[in-house]
Structure 1
C-alpha cells in the first residue's frame, strides 16, 4: 500500500537521537521535541551537554536560506559575538538532510543558550544587552553573506503582507481599511527620513527577550536568527522597544518604567555603536511594518502550523493592538 502524501510530518525523537549521536559522536544522549511549529525544535542532551536541534521545512525555509542563517551565525561566532551557533558534525557538515514523508527536510544542531529568559531586566542586564546588541551590529553592518536571506523593505514588511492577508479580513472590512490607510501614512513618513543617518546590515528582526538568555552570572546568549535578513539595523532596536510597549500595554509596568529601561539600553548601545535620533524616531513606522510582516507570515503558514488562534477574533484584536501602537506615539 502506497504511503499517502503529507505536507508536514513530525520526525521521531528516537530516530533523530540515533542519527545525531552517530553523526556528531555524542554518547548517552536523549532527544525530545520542545516546539512543533512552522519548524520543529528538539532538545538533545546527556549528563554534561545540551544542544538544540532545529528541523526546518522547505515550505518555510529553502536550503539557501538555511545556509544563510548558518553562515551568519558562524561569522558572528568567529568574531566574538555571544550567540548560539551551529555545530559541525564529524565530517564538518553543519546542515543535515532528512528524507521525510513530505520530502527533504533539513536540520541544524546548535549550541545550547545557557540561562533563561528575563522579561524584567535590571540595569546591569540592560547594560549588557545594549552593548552586546551593538557588538553584533558592528559585525552585521560589515559583511555580505554568500547565501540568500530576506531583505526587509517597505514592500516586504508592509505592501506585500497587506496584500497577502487581504482574504483573511473579508469579514473585517473596517479593520483592513484601518491597516491600509495607516500603511499609506506610515510609508509617507518612512519616505521622509534621511537614510544617510541609518545603519544598514543584517538584523535579527525579533530581538525580544524570548530570543536571548541570561545565565546566573549575567552572561548573555542570543539565539533564533531564523528571520534574520538585510535591512536597517534600527529594526532590531524597534523590536526590542516592542517588548516594553507590550509590558506597559498589558499593565506589567508603567510607561515611565518602560521608557526608563529602554533609555538605559540605548545609552549602553551608544557606548559601542552610534545610534542616530532619526533611527529612534523611525521606531513607530518600522514597528507597524513588524506587526504587518508577522501577520503575513502567520497567514501564509496557517495551513502548516497549528495556529488555531488565527481567526476573526485574533485579527480584530491584533488590529486593535496595532492601533494602540500607533497611538502610543501620538498618532500619525
Structure 2
C-alpha cells in the first residue's frame, strides 16, 4: 500500500524509510491503492478512476466506476467524537436507516461480505473505511435561495423525526453542556484571557447565560435525540433541479434538535432564515421553549465551532446573526 505520512505541526511528509523520525499524526493513501481496494471489496466492478478530494477530519476519495461515482472515506482516528469502531458503526447504521425511509442522504454500501465497514493498517494505527453513494450536484454557490433554505430546514426535520424510529445498536456521544460549552471554552481559555478585557467579559458573560438557560430548558419529548450536528453548506448538495442530498454525519450524536436547527439558522440571512424555519416546522413544529432558545443555541454553536478567533467570537456573542467582517 502506498502511504504518505504527515507529521504534527509542520505538516511535512515522510517516507517509510524515515518512519521512526516523526510522530505520525495522520496518513493518506495512494488513490490507485484505494481503487484496487474498491475493486476487491465491493461488487461494483473495476474503478475507472480515483482521486483524493479532501484530507482532513476524514480522507475522502471520489471513485468512478462505469460512469457512476462513489465517495470512499478513510475515517481519521483520535478525534474526540470518534472513540472507536462503535462510533463509526453508529453513523453508518443511522444513514442506512435514513436511506431506507427515503430521506435524501448519502448512504453506505456493503462490502462483498455484507459489512458496511472495513479496516486497513496505517502508520498511526488501524483505520476504518467505508464507501458511500455519491451526492449529486454541488454546494450552494453564495447565499441560499428561499426555496433551498426551506428545503434545508424541511430535510433536517425529516432526519430528526426519522431518527426517532431508529434503535441504535451502538452507543454514541452526547452533544451536551460538557461537550459543546465546557470543552471548547477550556480549549479557548488561554486565547480568551489574552484578548481585550471587553471581549473576554462578553464571552464569559454570554457563556454564563447560555449555561443558565440550558439548565432551565425543557426540550420536550422529541426535542432531544439524534442530530446531524454539522448541518452547513459544505455538507449538502443541490442538483440542477434543486433536489438536496445531505451527507457527512461524522459528528452525529444525541443532542438538542433546536441546536441542530440553530447551527445553520443563525448562519443564514433573511428571508432565507424565515424560510428555513418554516421548512423545519412543516415537518416538526418547535415548541415555544425550543423557539425561544434558537438565539441561545446559535451562540452555543458559535462557541462550539473550532478555530474561531476570539475577537470574532465576541462579536458573535453580541449578535449571533452577524455576517460582517472585523
The TM-score range, normalised by the shorter chain, is 0.7 to 0.9
Pick which of 19-28 and 119-128 moved more: 119-128
Using the size of structure 2 for normalisation, the TM-score is 0.83
Report what 1:41 is aligned to.
Answer: 60
Give 1:127 shift.
3.5
Out of 296, 310, 317, which is 1:285 matched to?
Answer: 296
Decide whether aligned partners of structure 1 residues 209 and 195 sit closer, same or farther in structure 2, where only a CA change above 3 A counts. same
Unaligned runs of 5+ in 2: 1-16
Decide whether aligned partners of structure 1 residues 198 and 284 sit closer, same or farther in structure 2, where only a CA change above 3 A counts. farther
Does 2:124 correspond to 1:106?
no
Decide whether aligned partners of structure 1 residues 194 and 43 sit closer, same or farther in structure 2, where only a CA change above 3 A counts. same
SS at the partner of 1:9?
strand
Report what 2:14 is aligned to.
Answer: none
Using CA pairs below 8 Å that are at least 6 residues apart, which structure has the higher relative contact order?
1
The superposition leaves residues 263-299 of structure 1 with CA deviations (integer Å, 9 ceiling, x where unpaired) of 222223222222223222212221222222223xx5x
The superposition leaves residues 184-207 of structure 1 with CA deviations (integer Å, 9 ceiling, x where unpaired) of 112112233333376121111121
Give 1:150 shift.
1.9
Using the size of structure 1 for normalisation, the TM-score is 0.82
Out of 60, 66, 87, which is 1:65 matched to?
Answer: 87
Decide whether aligned partners of structure 1 residues 185 and 24 sit closer, same or farther in structure 2, where only a CA change above 3 A counts. same
Q: Distance in 2 between matches of 1:67 and 1:243?
A: 30
Out of 311, 316, 325, which is 2:310 matched to?
Answer: 316
Report what 1:214 is aligned to.
Answer: 238
- Does structure 2 retain, via aligned residues, the 8 Å contact 1:114–1:215? yes
The superposition leaves residues 131-173 of structure 1 with CA deviations (integer Å, 9 ceiling, x where unpaired) of 3222211112343422122211112111232123324545336
Within 5 Å, which residues of 2 pair with 1:1-332?
3-4=19-20, 6-25=24-43, 26-60=45-79, 61=82, 62-118=84-140, 119-169=142-192, 171-172=194-195, 174=197, 175-196=199-220, 199-244=223-268, 258-295=269-306, 315-326=309-320
Q: Distance in 2 between matches of 1:127 and 1:166?
A: 37
SS at the partner of 2:132?
strand
Structure with the larger helix share: 1
Give 1:21 shift.
1.5
Unaligned runs of 5+ in 1: 245-257, 299-313
Give 1:10 shift.
1.4
Q: CA RMSD in A?
A: 2.3
Decide whether aligned partners of structure 1 residues 142 and 33 sit closer, same or farther in structure 2, where only a CA change above 3 A counts. same
Aligned residues: 298
- Does structure 2 retain, via aligned residues, the 8 Å contact 1:198–1:234? no
- Does structure 1 retain, via aligned residues, the 8 Å contact 2:75–2:128? yes
Decide whether aligned partners of structure 1 residues 198 and 189 sit closer, same or farther in structure 2, where only a CA change above 3 A counts. farther
Decide whether aligned partners of structure 1 residues 103 and 278 sit closer, same or farther in structure 2, where only a CA change above 3 A counts. same
Give 1:57 shift.
2.0
